[in-house]
Every structure is written in C-alpha cells, then in structure tokens.
Amino acid sequence: MTIRKLLIANRGEIAVRINRAARELGIRTVQAYSQADADSLAVRLADEAVEIGPAQAAKSYLNVDALIAAARSSGADAVHPGYGFLAESARFAEAVEQAGLVFVGPRGDTIRMMGDKVAARAAAAAAGVPTVPGSDGRIDSLPDALKLAEEIGYPVMIKAAAGGGGRGIRIAHDRAEFERFFQLAGTEAQTAFGDGGLYVEKVIERARHVEVQVLGDGTDAVHCFERECSLQRRRQKVWEEAPSAALDATKRRDLCQSAVALARSVGYRGAGTLEYLYDDRTGDFYFIEMNTRIQVEHPVTEFVTGIDLVREMLLIAGGQPLRLKQEDIALRGHAIEVRINAEDPAKDFMPFPGRIGELAVPGGPGARFDTMLYAGYQIPPFYDSLLGKLIVWDEDREHAIDRLKRALRELTIGGVKTTVPLHLALADDRDVRANDVHTRWLERWLETNGSRLG
Amino acid sequence: MSEKHILSPLPGTFYRKPAPDKPPFKDVGDMVTLGEVVGLVEVMKTFYEVKSELEGKVARILAENEAAVQAGEPLIELE
C-alpha cells in the first residue's frame, strides 16, 4: 500500500525534514507535538497537528499510547519516528503495527536484536563481519575473562551487556586492574541495569569512527557508501563527512560489502547505519553496532550520492521494493556536516536556550541548512540543543572545508550562543585539514583551545 | 519578593530530588545554608545544581517536582 497520511512522531529539524520528504511524495502530514512545541516550525509546515502531552518528553514524545491515539484520531496510516525518542523502540514499532498502521522503519524484532549488543555482535559474526576482538557473548567467570584479556592484550574494555550511552564501561590497563574492575563492573551492572552480565573487548586506540549507510526492503539491501564521524565530544558527533578520507577504494569496497551482507542476513527494512571502528594504522575495521533508524548526519550521504534517503524510507515503508541497484549508486565529491547547537563553546558548551533574533541562512552552491529555526522563535529548554545542521558539498575535501568556512560566516543566528565558533576554528585547524584525527582527538584539542572559542 | 526566595538560575525542568528513588533535597521546615544544593534544573538534557544564595528555614516549596520553570522563577520560599 502507498502511504497517504503520515504521523511525524518527533520534533525539531528531523520533523521538518520528514515533512518535506512526505510532501514531495504527495503524502499528507500530521505533526505530533508537545505543549512546548505548539509554535514549532514542524507544526507550521505540516498539513495538520495533534497535541500529544506536556513538555516533558516522557509524557509526550516518549508516550506510545498518546502517539498511537494521535495517529488514529488524525486518520494517519503510517508513523515516522525520526531519530532519538522512540525511533529504536521495538515496543513502539510493534504497537504501531498492532494498531494497523505502517511503521517507517525495520520490524520490531530487528530493532530488538540489533539493540542488544551481544546479539548484534553474534549476528555480525554469523554474516562474516569482523567485530572487535573480545568475548563471544557474556562472560561470567573471572578466570575465563582473565585468560581472554591476556590473549587480547591490554588495554581491555569491560562492558555491561545491558549498558548503553557510554554507561557501564571500564578500561583495564593490566591484570590487577582487570581483576578489580571485572568484579566492580559486575556489581555496578547488576545495580544499574538489573543484569550483571559483562563482556570483554579490545580497546582500539586512535580509532576512526566510520559508518555505512544501508537501505533494505526486508529482502535485498544496498549501501550508500560511508560517513566518517571521528570528531566527537562526550560521544556526541560534532562534525561528519562523506566519504571517509581514511579509506582507499579497496578498503571502502570491503567495508561497504560487509555492511550489505549483515543488512541482508537480518532481513533489514528501511534506512539503517552500521557503525565501525577503523584502525588506519593496521587497516582493520570492526563492527560495533547498528542504528536502526535515519541518523542526524544522513544529509552528507544525500549530497555525495544524490539519493533522498527519507524519500526512500517512505517508499519502502509503503511496500515498494528497493528502487536502487548497487551499480546505480555512485559517490561524487565530498560533503561535510556540522551540528549547530544552542551552546556556548567558550563555557564548556553550556546550553543556551533563548529567543531567535535575526536569522540569516547560508545559500549559494553546495550549501544546505536543515533547521527548526525561524526569526522570533523561542527555543524550548526541554529538548536537546540541536538547532540545525549546516551541510556543504564540493568537488573534494579541501574545497568542501573552504566552502564550509564561507557558509559558516554567512550564517547568523541572533539571540543565542551557538557552536559556530567551534566549527570555524576546526575548519582552520591543521590536523583537521590534514585529516589526522581520531575519536579522542577533539576532547584533547578542546582542553587547549576551548577557552578561546568566544 | 526575591529576598526570601531561592530562584531558578536557568529555564528548564525543576527536580526536587537527586534521583527518582531518593528523598527530596529539602522539605518544609528544613534549614538551608549558603551555597547548599536545593534542587536540580534540567536544561537541554543537561543537569545544573540549584545552589541557595540565602540562608534560612524552608517555609514553602513553590515549584513542584518536574515542573517547567523560567529563569528567575521562585522555587523555594524561606522564613
């Protein structure tokens, strides 16, 4: 069936993005919104809007019953979850389908499997995709864990099987630390997650974060090449680009083919991303996890492939088989995305909600600004600080960085502090320009340069 | 009115407790010392401690747990 009316179960710039893709396909849009978002751009752009509860996300954007009720009352026949909130909730995906509606994303059981780190790792191993050396699943006995740690070589990461968002991770540098942390981590995991299960993984130092965008229709899958997101702060991506300048053609082919193999083996449906660590000294890559949703940084892939990923998601959810064949998907030029957050980079990225004064958005060749802002908009303090994303494209990485600087200087967001000064400084940094970065590079850089970002 | 009130330093969501399963930082009748933490405000998914700039005994709690508050809004009234 073709989708006729879509409930957008999210907010901010991604709700605006989904609205645009739906409208271009002739799909009517219904924007779900909390009381704090009645004035949002997403509400203004949608054909209809339904209030789903108070400002607190737990009572609105995370309220499954309220969202299903909104879909039903508006006569929507499909639900797009965006990213964050309920986008990777198997329970939500299943509730949507049980209500007789289409969930724009993978099946609930796929979300559940890829959300469990141990199961996802097992699925990767079964598809022949390399994973970070470590325990095959949970490891309960200290003697077994110790033996494995010595085989892998220190430093070794001890992780809670049920953990997430960086919680429940300890790094041991030698045998004594390993013994101590293993027992401590087991107790902590039991207390925090109600599950004391642990697993052990090699620490990849100076790793790059490279991820492959895939599209699947439940049977077949294709890749849309990779992105590199090595510049991170507190495990949050700050600057993302496509393609990864760290890969050569052979490595790129191997990496992307491994992602397609895994997506096919789990019968993946919709847009998804397989995240890898890439060690550019050894040329080894390791699967770490899959995100079963559209991602914040999807526009860099759209720029270098010319594919509208959200449109493809909607067509697949509407029951169409994949329209794209792998040989039709080509890589052209270089794209960079930077996240524009309402934060003060000079003051340890303190959140900075406020009312938007003047707003001037960059234009010209190869510049795209995906945002939730309009002049006079009062940014609510209840959600994350992402205001928009500036994405640029040019023929190669060097030109793309120059275009990024030009576009950042055109961008004016009055009334709040933003992360624009950070991105301008990064665009001029010698290591960034030489692409000599890794996942811990930015935090070290900020220790020296953070206070100068006024 | 502000000489007897502890105000929210930021706009956001006010929390009276350090964690959902913990008792409130302060109840009516408790003493508050200078610089003491009396609550948390969550702004854009980041938590900030509300530190009292006054001393005294809690007369009234003006903002409920998990209430949306504005910067400068009175949270706690002291005697």
pLDDT digits (tens, 9 = 90+) for A186-227: 887 887 777 888 989 898 888 999 999 999 999 999 999 999
* CA–CA dist A161, A140 (Å, integer): 11
Cβ-defined contact of B44 to A381 (cutoff 8 Å): yes
Nearest to A181 by CA among A124, A142, A233, A213: A142
* CA–CA dist B24, A372 (Å, integer): 36
Using alpha carbons only, give the angle A398, A404, A410 rounded to the nearest 5 degrees: 150
- Looking at the DSSP bridge assignments, the partners of residue A284 are A279
* CA–CA dist A186, A204 (Å, integer): 22
Integer CA distances (angstroms), A329 to A101, A325, A368, in order: 31, 7, 21
Assess whether pLDDT exceeds 60 at residue A151: yes
A164 pLDDT band (50/70/90 cuts)?
low
Contact A83, A236 (CB under 8 A): no
Cβ-defined contact of A385 to B45 (cutoff 8 Å): yes
Of A78, A104, A130, the one marking the end of a domain is: A104
**3-class DSSP state for residue A152?**
helix
Mean pLDDT, residues A347-357 taken together: 91
pLDDT attached to residue A195: 80
Work out how many CB contacts closer than 8 A connect A with B. 36
Q: Is residue A128 part of a domain?
A: no
Q: What's the gap in Å between the CA of A373 and the closest CA on chain B? A: 16
- Strands A78-80 and A102-103: what pairing? parallel
Q: Is residue A126 part of a domain?
A: no
pLDDT attached to residue A163: 65
Of A153, A181, A202, the one marking the end of a domain is: A202
Looking at the structure of chain A, the number of domains it has is 3
pLDDT attached to residue A159: 86
Is A404 found in the same domain as A302?
yes
- State which residue of chain A sits closest to B12, comparing Cα positions: A381
The CA-based diameter of chain A, rounded to the nearest angstrom, is 63
Q: Where are the domains of chain B?
A: 4-78
Q: Is residue A117 part of a domain?
A: no
Integer CA distances (angstroms), A125 to A43, A135, A266, B3, in order: 44, 12, 12, 64
Residues of chain B contacting residue A351, judged by C-beta atoms under 8 Å apart:
10, 43-46
Among the partner residues A36, A56, A385, nearest to B44 by beta-carbon distance? A385
Q: Which of A60, A382, A419 to mutate to test the interface with B (most CBs of B within 10 A)?
A: A382
Q: What is the pLDDT of residues B16-75, one digit of tens each?
A: 998 888 899 999 999 999 999 999 999 998 889 999 999 999 999 999 999 989 889 999
Assess whether pLDDT exceeds 60 at residue B1: no
Among the partner residues B10, B46, B66, nearest to A56 by beta-carbon distance? B66
* CA–CA dist A320, B2 (Å, integer): 62
Mean pLDDT, residues A58-65 taken together: 96
Question: Which residues of A does the annotation mark as catalytic?
Answer: 293
Among the partner residues B11, B66, B68, nearest to A353 by beta-carbon distance? B11
Mean pLDDT, residues A290-307 taken together: 97
A272 is in which domain, residue-wise? 207-452
A167 pLDDT band (50/70/90 cuts)?
low
Going by the DSSP 8-state scheme, the letter that residue B44 receives in this structure is: T
pLDDT attached to residue A135: 87
Residues of chain B contacting residue A342, judged by C-beta atoms under 8 Å apart:
44
Is A189 found in the same domain as A57?
no
Q: What is the pLDDT of residues A231-278, one digit of tens each?
A: 999 888 999 999 999 999 999 999 999 999 999 999 999 999 999 999
Tell me the DSSP string of A260-273.
HHHHHHTT-EEEEE
Integer CA distances (angstroms), B12 to A35, A255, B68, in order: 14, 43, 6
Which residues lie below 8 Å from residue A408, measured CB to CB, with a gap of 6+?
A338, A362, A390, A420, A423, A424, A427
pLDDT attached to residue B2: 52
Cβ-defined contact of A56 to B43 (cutoff 8 Å): no
Is A148 found in the same domain as A47?
no
Q: Is residue A441 part of a domain?
A: yes
Cβ-defined contact of B45 to A383 (cutoff 8 Å): yes
CATH architecture of B4-78: Beta Barrel (2.40)
Residue bearing the bigger pLDDT, A354 or A18:
A18
CATH number of the domain where residue A187 is located: 3.30.1490.20
Cβ-defined contact of B43 to A353 (cutoff 8 Å): yes
CATH number of the domain where residue A260 is located: 3.30.470.20
Q: What's the gap in Å between the CA of A84 and the closest CA on chain B? A: 13
Contact A247, A278 (CB under 8 A): yes
Write the ipTM: 0.75
- State which residue of chain A sits closest to B46, comparing Cα positions: A351
Is A269 found in the same domain as A170?
no
Q: What is the pLDDT of residues A126-142, one digit of tens each?
A: 999 999 999 887 888 99
- Mean pLDDT for all residues in chain A: 94
Nearest to A70 by CA among A23, A33, A43, A98: A33
Mean pLDDT, residues A117-134 taken together: 91
pLDDT attached to residue B27: 95
Contact A304, A334 (CB under 8 A): yes
Q: Is residue A230 part of a domain?
A: yes
Mean pLDDT, residues A96-119 taken together: 94
Of A164, A180, A202, the one marking the end of a domain is: A202
Residues of chain B contacting residue A353, judged by C-beta atoms under 8 Å apart:
11-12, 43-44
Integer CA distances (angstroms), A41 to A7, A45, A148, A353, in order: 16, 6, 53, 16
Assess whether pLDDT exceeds 70 at residue A425: yes
A185 pLDDT band (50/70/90 cuts)?
confident
Is A148 found in the same domain as A91?
no
